[in-house]
Chains A and B, each alone.
Chain A
Amino acid sequence: MSAIAEPPVLAAPNDGIKPGEVLLEVRNVSLAFGGVKAVTNISFDVRKGEIRAIIGPNGAGKTSMLNVINGFYHPQEGEIVFRGEKRRRMQPYEAAASGIARTFQNVALFKGMSTLDNIMSGRTLKMKRGFLWQLLHYGPARDEEIENRRKVEEIIDFLEIESIRKTPVGKLPYGLQKRVELGRALAMEPDLLLLDEPMAGMNLEEKEDMSRFILDVNRQMRTTIALIEHDMGVVMDLSDRVVVLDYGKKIADGTPDAVKNNQDVIDAYLGVAH
């Protein structure tokens, strides 16, 4: 094991919000598909600098909640306040532009592209040179490309995936794909990073690696993280605060210890005799 790489020096989020203040607030959000209620009247907040976990049994509406936050689903009721700005209907690319990045439950990498290109794709919003410069691929456009490549290489170093830089991601084992996906989200230099089951399907070593990366991202890059995870050990160790969903409703919210001892949560997970 080599020495732990220094996390990349990325632009520190500078949005006038001090650590510990509310970065994202979900207010009374309800979402339904036809007659099926995915989430009902959910409210919680994410504070700047923390790791916030969203947990709950299968079908509790966790992923739907993330989809609402980054604009992929539009809730019928309620609103999202991000960095003090209220919004109701927002397109996913607008959410990305406002500083929300995300990984997916089932890896959603760009299969036809290499690791490098996948992570470069996270820099899309950081690249501004127009069509004509792109055509020439010269001067400013090339400088910009190389400048962003440098950032991406820092992330590649941080995630220790130098050797698979030019491998098509489709050929990578699952654990590495998850890591590349994290890299892609990091390349966006987000204010808020949403992780949908970052450790699903991993073995113990891979989980430990991923936990370390998540902690480093949070502590050293000061990125606020909201994550969904099933591994309770991981959740309790990593997160500062936990919100628990069950059947689309919020049943608990608080520190890991408080949530662990909450009777509703125990019932939801272990089942309760009626």
Chain B
Amino acid sequence: MFYREVGQFKTSYAADQQVFPIRQDRIGVAVILLVALVVVPWAGNDFFLSAIAIPFLVLALATIGLNVLTGYAGQLSLGTGGFMGVGAYACYKLVTLFPDAPIVLHVLLSGFAAAALGIVFGLPSLRIKGLYLAVTTLAAQFFFEWCFIRVPWLYNYNASGAIEVPGRSMFGVTLTGPSASSTARYYVVLLVVIVLTVLVKNLIRGRIGRQWMMIRDMDIAAELMGVRPLHAKLSAFAVSSYLCGVAGAMFVFFYLGAAEPSAFSVTLSFQVLFMAILGGLGSLVGSFFGAAFIWILPILLRWGMPLVGMPLPSETVTQLTSMIVGALIIVFLILEPHGLARLWQIGKEKLRVWPFPYA
């Protein structure tokens, strides 16, 4: 009833090409931003911010990263966790080498290390395609994991073999380390995620994003339209790895606080892949849906089941989550391969024509 585009005419191509051409969508996005920027930090307690909001945003960014590569450019990656790790370790080294530079700068720069390695491991994609490429990304995954364990320089020769986040502040506010408040960390993560999401959206709706999708949908035709596979694929690898790297750096610096190499294992890669699939491959909003769903499901099980009188031991929660997510992946692939994002879209379509079933 309220969600109608009646009377909203576009008189220029610029207006027609907006990200949110329908006024109600623009209002909705403004409301969501307002909630994220004001209501959540104001109403959310420390647990909500630290254990739900921050990791959700970080993983959503990683999912966007994977989506760029797999959803938009069509190159399957099983190495997301490894590239996140590269970002985290790069950030750790940057903080050690330049302790006085602002931490947010470190986080943003650490993505470039991941991007560079992403390009290296993306090179084989020029010769090998599809499922074969999964092996390349697995090679990256296991090689990085090995480096995190066997190259002591990466963790400053700590006896524990783990990286620990030092306290750092910007403009007098402590942002990292044990004494940083969850609100401060939340704001940093939120702003980085918003800015990067907007930039990625810009790439996707322009020439570069179109080239990625051309390669994804039909690489031969894309080449005959003048797309250079080298440029298209490697730019996708670079952008994707950059986003994963930044996500990995934030994962350690604003969420975990300390990390062992096992934090970036192939399990994390799969977790992010599931977020992308469930959310919807080739959809940015789906990345947020997918991350929210997979991150919050076990928390809901852990906290929600006792409320209905069925307390679950924590390993049972893990097992149940694994089963539910696995089953849901299959269900979604069968019923709605485009994931939660498509369900969202269908919901909006229905709302537009309501109360009539068809437009």
Whether chain A touches chain B in the assembled complex (some CB pair under 8 Å)? yes
A-side residues, CB < 8 A to B, are: 70, 72, 91-93, 95-97, 101-102, 104, 108-113, 117, 120-122, 124-125, 127, 129, 131, 134-137, 141-142, 145-146, 149-150, 153, 184, 188
CB nearest neighbor in B for A142: B14
Does B202 lie at the interface of the complex (its beta carbon under 8 Å from any beta carbon of A)?
A: yes
- Tell me which residues across on chain B come within 8 A of A93, comparing CB atoms: 223-224, 226-229
Does B225 lie at the interface of the complex (its beta carbon under 8 Å from any beta carbon of A)?
A: yes
Does B203 lie at the interface of the complex (its beta carbon under 8 Å from any beta carbon of A)?
A: yes
Q: A97-B226, A120-B210 are in contact. Are A146 and B14 (CB under 8 A)?
A: yes
- Tell me which residues across on chain A come within 8 A of B12, comparing CB atoms: 146
CB nearest neighbor in B for A141: B206
Evaluate contact between A108 and B218: CB separation under 8 angstroms.
yes
- Tell me which residues across on chain A come within 8 A of B213, comparing CB atoms: 110, 112-113, 117
A134 to B203 Cα, complex, angstroms: 6
- Tell me which residues across on chain B come within 8 A of A121, comparing CB atoms: 210-211, 214, 222, 225
- Tell me which residues across on chain B come within 8 A of A129, comparing CB atoms: 207
A134 to B223 Cα, complex, angstroms: 21
A111 to B338 Cα, complex, angstroms: 14
Q: Distance (Å) between the CB of A94 and the closest chain B CB?
A: 9
Does B217 lie at the interface of the complex (its beta carbon under 8 Å from any beta carbon of A)?
A: yes
CB nearest neighbor in A for B19: A137
Does B346 lie at the interface of the complex (its beta carbon under 8 Å from any beta carbon of A)?
A: no
- Tell me which residues across on chain B come within 8 A of A122, comparing CB atoms: 225
A120 to B227 Cα, complex, angstroms: 13
A109 to B213 Cα, complex, angstroms: 11
Does B282 lie at the interface of the complex (its beta carbon under 8 Å from any beta carbon of A)?
A: yes
Determine chain A's interface SS by DSSP, over half rule: helix
- Tell me which residues across on chain B come within 8 A of A127, comparing CB atoms: 207
Instruction: Give the interface residue-count category, chain B.
Output: 20 to 34
- Tell me which residues across on chain A come within 8 A of B222, comparing CB atoms: 110, 121
A97 to B213 Cα, complex, angstroms: 20
List, sorted by A's number, 13 A–B pairs whose CB atoms are closer than 8 Å: A92-B223, A95-B224, A96-B225, A110-B214, A113-B213, A124-B225, A124-B227, A125-B226, A131-B208, A141-B206, A142-B14, A146-B13, A150-B13
Q: A108-B220, A108-B221 are in contact. Are A188 and B226 (CB under 8 A)?
A: yes
A108 to B221 Cα, complex, angstroms: 6
A124 to B229 Cα, complex, angstroms: 13
Evaluate contact between B282 and A188: CB separation under 8 angstroms.
no
Does B4 lie at the interface of the complex (its beta carbon under 8 Å from any beta carbon of A)?
A: no
- Tell me which residues across on chain B come within 8 A of A70, comparing CB atoms: 224
A23 to B214 Cα, complex, angstroms: 29
How many Cβ-Cβ contacts under 8 Å join chain A to chain B?
99
Within 8 A of A (CB), among B198-251: 199, 202-203, 205-208, 210-211, 213-214, 216-218, 220-229, 235
- Indicate the member of B222, B225, B229 with the most A CB atoms within 10 Å: B225
Evaluate contact between A91 and B221: CB separation under 8 angstroms.
no
A109 to B218 Cα, complex, angstroms: 7
Evaluate contact between B225 and A188: CB separation under 8 angstroms.
yes
A127 to B205 Cα, complex, angstroms: 13
Q: A112-B217, A136-B202, A142-B14 are in contact. Are A184 and B225 (CB under 8 A)?
A: yes
Q: Mask for B263-302, Cβ within 8 A of A = 1, else 0?
A: 0000000000000000000100000000000000000000
- Tell me which residues across on chain A come within 8 A of B220, comparing CB atoms: 72, 92, 108
Going nearest first, the 10 A-B pairs with the smallest beta carbon separation are A137-B202, A96-B226, A110-B217, A125-B226, A92-B223, A108-B221, A127-B207, A134-B206, A149-B13, A92-B224
CB nearest neighbor in B for A113: B213
- Tell me which residues across on chain A come within 8 A of B218, comparing CB atoms: 108-111
- Indicate the member of B14, B217, B224 with the most A CB atoms within 10 Å: B224
- Tell me which residues across on chain B come within 8 A of A150, comparing CB atoms: 13
- Indicate the member of A91, A122, A125, A145 with the most B CB atoms within 10 Å: A145
Evaluate contact between B202 and A134: CB separation under 8 angstroms.
yes
- Tell me which residues across on chain A come within 8 A of B199, comparing CB atoms: 135-136
Within 8 A of A (CB), among B108-149: none
Does B179 lie at the interface of the complex (its beta carbon under 8 Å from any beta carbon of A)?
A: no
- Tell me which residues across on chain A come within 8 A of B216, comparing CB atoms: 110, 112
- Tell me which residues across on chain A come within 8 A of B227, comparing CB atoms: 93, 124
Q: Distance (Å) between the CB of A26 and the closest chain B CB?
A: 18
A137 to B352 Cα, complex, angstroms: 29
Which one, B205, B210, B223, B226, contacts A137 given CB within 8 A?
A: B205
- Tell me which residues across on chain A come within 8 A of B226, comparing CB atoms: 93, 96-97, 124-125, 188
Within 8 A of A (CB), among B172-216: 199, 202-203, 205-208, 210-211, 213-214, 216
Evaluate contact between B206 and A145: CB separation under 8 angstroms.
yes
Within 8 A of A (CB), among B20-35: none
Evaluate contact between B225 and A131: CB separation under 8 angstroms.
no
Evaluate contact between B217 and A124: CB separation under 8 angstroms.
no
CB nearest neighbor in B for A169: B217
Q: Distance (Å) between the CB of B8 and the closest chain A CB?
A: 15
A125 to B226 Cα, complex, angstroms: 6
CB nearest neighbor in B for A131: B208
Does B160 lie at the interface of the complex (its beta carbon under 8 Å from any beta carbon of A)?
A: no
Does B11 lie at the interface of the complex (its beta carbon under 8 Å from any beta carbon of A)?
A: no
Q: List 5 additional A-B contacts (Cβ < 8 Å) besides A108-B218, A127-B207, A141-B206.
A: A110-B214, A124-B210, A124-B227, A136-B199, A184-B225
